[in-house]
Amino acid sequence: MRPGTTGSPQRGGPRQPSAAAAAAMAGAVDLAAVKARSEAAARAAEAPPPSSADVVIDVTEATFQSAVLDRSFQVPVLLDLWADWCEPCKQLSPILEKLATEGGGAWVLAKIDVEANPRLQQALQVQSIPTVFAVIGGQLVPGFQGAIPEAQAREFVKAVLDAGAQAGLSGAVPADGAVPADRAEPATADEAPEDPRFAAAEEALEAGQYDLAAQRYQAIIDAEPGNSEAKLALGQVTLLQRLESVDQGAVARADTSPDDVEAQLAAADLALAGNDVQGAFDRLLATVGRLAGDDRDRVRERLVEYFDLLGPDDPRVPAARRALARALF
C-alpha cells in the first residue's frame, strides 16, 4: 500500500492513516511521498530533457505522472487548467504558450482540459478556471487564477525559473538536441540497491505505524546527521502523528480564541494538510505577534518546521520567513 492510501482494517493490525493524514501526504507538504519522489527523480535522470518541440503538451490523468511529476525533476512544469467554454482561458493560454515557446525548453507548459480530466481537477482542488500551478521537483506550487496580462505572466514564469534554479533543476536540452553525457547511458542493474533503512521506515509509514516510522527515520539521522532525505521524511511523519489526534473543532476554537495556542497550532496543521499553505502561514504569523515567552517560541518553531517541509525552493517560504523575522524583532 502506497503512503496516503487506505485499506481494509484488519483486527489487531496496524491502524490506517486518517483522512487528514492522507490529505497531508497528497497535498502541499509532499505532492509525492518520499519514496515516490525518489522514484520520479530516478526516472527523470534516465529520460532525455525536453526539446524545444515539447514545451507545450496536453496532459491527461494517464500521462500526469510522466509528463508532469517526473518531468518536474528536470525543468519546472506549469499547469494550465482550462476548458473550451472558458473565455478567460482563451485569453491566458496563448500568452502561456508564447512564453513557453520563447523559453525553448527551460520549462514546460502542461495543459489540462478539466472537462476531459475531472479527477485531476478534483485532486488539484481547482474551484475555477483558468488556474495555473507550478510543479518543481515533484512539489506543487500554487500560482494564480484568472487571466492576467502578459507582463504579469512573465514575472510569474521568471519566479518559477528562479525557484527551479535554486532547486538544482537541470534545465533545457541543448539546441542541437544532444543528450548530455551524464545522461547518455541508462541506469543499470549494477546501481546501488535501495537503502534498507529507508525501506524499513517506509514500510512502517505505509502501514500507518507513524511512531515506528519516526523512530527509524530518527535512527538514520542519528547515524548520518546530514541526511536531508531522512530529515524531510521525519518532518512529514511528525505532522502525520499530530494529525492523527487533531480535533476537527480546532479551527472553530482558534477563530474564536486567538490566544489559544494549542488551537492555533492544530488549525494551522489542518490548513497545511488541506493544501492551504498560505492560510497556515498567516494564522501562525498573526499568532506569534500576539505572544511572548514559551508560547511564542512554540509557534515560531512550528513555522520553521513548515519552512523545512516545503523547502527553500517554494516561493512562499522566503516571504513568510521575512514576515516571521519582522514579527519577532
Q: Given a cut of 50, is residue 30 above it in pLDDT?
A: no
182 falls in which pLDDT band (50, 70, 90)? very low
User: What residue spans in the chain does CATH classification 3.40.30.10 cover?
Assistant: 49-172
Contact 264, 14 (CB under 8 A): no
CA dist list (Å): 62 to 27, 72, 120, 189: 19, 16, 10, 27
Q: Given a cut of 60, is residue 22 above it in pLDDT?
A: no
Contact 82, 114 (CB under 8 A): yes
86 an active-site residue?
Answer: yes
Catalytic option among 20, 23, 55, 89: 89
Whether the pTM exceeds 0.75: the reply is: no
Q: Given a cut of 70, is residue 311 above it in pLDDT?
A: yes
- Name the residue with cell 494529525: 243
> What is residue 272's predicted lDDT score, i.e. its pLDDT?
87
Q: How large is the angle between the packed helices 19-26 and 261-273, nearest 10 degrees?
A: 60
Task: Find the mean pLDDT for residues 99-111.
Answer: 92
Contact 201, 35 (CB under 8 A): no
b vs e for 253-281, b when ≥16 Cβ sit within 10 Å of the residue's Cβ?
A: ebeeeeebbebbbbbbbbbbbbbbbeebb
223 falls in which pLDDT band (50, 70, 90)? confident
What is the residue-averaged pLDDT of the chain?
A: 77
- Name the residue with cell 534545465: 171
User: What residue spans in the chain does CATH classification 1.25.40 cover?
Assistant: 196-328
> What is residue 132's predicted lDDT score, i.e. its pLDDT?
93
Neighbours of 28 (CB within 10 A): 25
Catalytic option among 56, 77, 86, 327: 86
Question: Which CATH number, 1.10.1760, 1.25.40, 1.10.3470, 3.40.1620, labels domain 196-328?
Answer: 1.25.40
89 an active-site residue?
Answer: yes
The mean-pLDDT minimum among 35-44, 60-69, 94-103 falls in 35-44
Q: 49-172 falls under which CATH superfamily?
A: Glutaredoxin (3.40.30.10)
